[in-house]
Amino acid sequence: MTSRLRALAATAASVPITLFGLAVVTFLIGRVVPIDPVLAIVGDRAPQDVVERARLELGLDQPLLVQFWHYLGQILSGDLGRSVMTANPVTQDIARYFPATFELATAAIILAVLIGVPLGVLAATRQDSWIDQAVRLFCLAGHSVPVFVLALLSLMVFYATLHWAPGPGRQGILFEDMVDIRTGLLTVDTALAGDWPAFRDALWHLAQPAGVLALFSLAYIARMTRAFMLAELRQEYITTARAKGLSPLRIVWRHAFGNVLVPLVTVLFLTYAGLLEGAVLTETIFAWPGLGQYLTVSLLNADMNAVLGATLVVGLIYVALNLLADFLYRVMDPRV
């Protein structure tokens, strides 16, 4: 009991330390990058007295430590500043753009798990066979090719050449603004509204970018599943189960995969976190109006409040999913 309390206390103590470090990093990024936030607001042709007045109002004339404490106070109060590009509070912009990223990443991880996990198990149970070699080659290719190359190839083949897939964007022109936004998840909102043509259109637009991200992720998931399964299939309890005459399906999925599921949860959650934070290139290529595209456009427009706010939110998401994976790890395996 004491060891459990110590472990929980250590985890609880690590959260504020991690978040404080995240705040320090984002603050330093805003001060190190060669972009003057004052000029981004007033313009590079503004008179010098206007520039100096804006610098005083932003508190950039104060010592760095004082600026950091002001920045930390703003974060704790939920104020991430105002976007120069949209003139809206950054928190409002993030609430608007994040659902699109969440929808894309969730669809991708579902596809990756449904395909990647069975592939990894199949390769492990057919070790050194042609099936295993084919899966390993597929995983190597899928994980080695950059995601932006996969995205461009997908657009070129399925959209420009074969005309199977719709163009970039989240929805066709005919269906834009036809459904009331409730959750921000377009497939969910169109289904709730009962607008099935709009639902099919949203799902069809989602398929291509989600498929690209899923292909990149399932290669890693399949490779890790195969490695975990091979380690479990060599254990003595598997030999005992075979000697007892248990069916191969029960041995693989009930006994071996049951133990593989514990470390695999961590892999899946961290992969999902990577999809939520790493879909920048995919969103840019497919013109997907998510947090990644918002971050890219903000960076190109020197909108540092938006860049730092989006970076901070992504870091918070990663920390939260990491903690959730750690919690599920402990629940699924009481020995931890």
Which one, of 287, 314, 284, 310, lies nearest residue 83 by Cα?
310
What whole-number distance in Å separates Cα of residue 283 and Cα of residue 151?
9
What whole-number distance in Å separates Cα of residue 42 and Cα of residue 57?
12
- List, in order, residues 6 or more apart from 105 with CB less than 8 Å away: 213, 272, 275, 276, 279
Model confidence, pTM: 0.86
Over residues 85-106, the mean pLDDT reads 89
Locus of tokens 């989006």: 310
Instruction: Give the residues across from 89 on adjacent strands.
Output: 82
Which one, of 170, 168, 169, lies nearest residue 190 by Cα?
170
**Cα-to-chain-centroid distance, residue 288:** 14
CB 133 within 8 A of CB 126: no
Structural tokens at position 2: 């004491």
CA distances from 30 to 26, 33, 51, 149, 173 (A): 6, 6, 18, 30, 38
How many percent of the chain have pLDDT more than 90?
19
Average pLDDT, the chain: 84
How many percent of the chain have pLDDT more than 70?
91
The confidence score (pLDDT) of residue 325 equals 81
Structural tokens at position 124: 């492990």
The confidence score (pLDDT) of residue 324 equals 84
Q: What are phi and psi of 288, to 5 degrees?
A: -85, 120
Structural tokens at position 56: 């005083």
pLDDT band at 336 (very low <50, low <70, confident <90, very high): low
Angle (CA) 313-210-96 rounded to 5° is 35
CB 223 within 8 A of CB 229: no
- Residue ranges and CATH numbers for the domains of the chain are 2-76 (no CATH), 90-332 (1.10.3720.10)
Radius of gyration of the chain (CA): 24
Is pLDDT of 221 > 90? yes
Region of residue 169 (phi > 0: left; psi between -120 and 50: alpha; otherwise: beta):
left
Amino acid at 64: L
Over residues 176-201, the mean pLDDT reads 87
CB 295 within 8 A of CB 86: no
